[in-house]
Copies of this chain bind each other. A is one copy, B any other.
């Protein structure tokens, strides 16, 4: 059970977009260069964010991406689910139905007890991600990243933002 690397990419990109001044956009090219990622493939992750309405886009030179709403209203779960999908990590194939001791056509009233536990764990995972906002990440980064790196990074970004 391993998340796509696109999840990591999307989270880092959103953290950068959160620091953009209002009304400006940042292109895939800039985001790819900043993180050392393959531009074409990163583009797929950003398209996922766009389809989930987490970001807005504009075309042409000086076009690119910006957040569709304040970073305090975007959760980790929003971003993770946009890229990874909303499907649960455990899929129940109902193997209890193969039990040869079952009467034919017997119908279960509840989902399988095994699945219920696995889904509960899945919910715990999602709840943790739901409680963390993108703005929390930005706060943490602004505390932990050395001020000179933080500053020069956003100078680098602003030079490329449209």
Interface size grouping (class) on chain A: 35 or more
14 of the cross-chain contacts (CB-CB < 8 Å) are A1-B1, A1-B2, A3-B91, A7-B90, A8-B93, A12-B114, A34-B99, A35-B95, A101-B156, A113-B141, A117-B129, A121-B125, A121-B126, A121-B129
Is A3 touching B89 in the complex (CB atoms < 8 A)?
yes
Task: Enumerate chain B residues within 8 angstroms of A126, measured Cβ to Cβ.
Answer: 121
A residues adjacent to B (C-beta < 8 A): 1-5, 7-9, 11-12, 15, 33-37, 76, 84, 87, 89-93, 95-103, 106, 109-110, 113-115, 117-118, 120-122, 124-129, 132, 137, 140-141, 144, 149, 152-153, 155-156
Is A149 touching B2 in the complex (CB atoms < 8 A)?
no
Is B114 touching A2 in the complex (CB atoms < 8 A)?
no
The A contact surface, by secondary structure, is: helix
Oligomer copy total: 2
Is A76 touching B1 in the complex (CB atoms < 8 A)?
no
**Residue on B with the closest CB to A132?**
B117
Task: Enumerate chain B residues within 8 angstroms of A3, measured Cβ to Cβ.
Answer: 1, 89-91, 118
Chain B nearest CB, measured from A149 CB (Å): 6
Known: A12-B95, A102-B149. A1 touches B89 (CB 8 A): yes
Partner of A122, one of B35, B97, B100, B125: B125
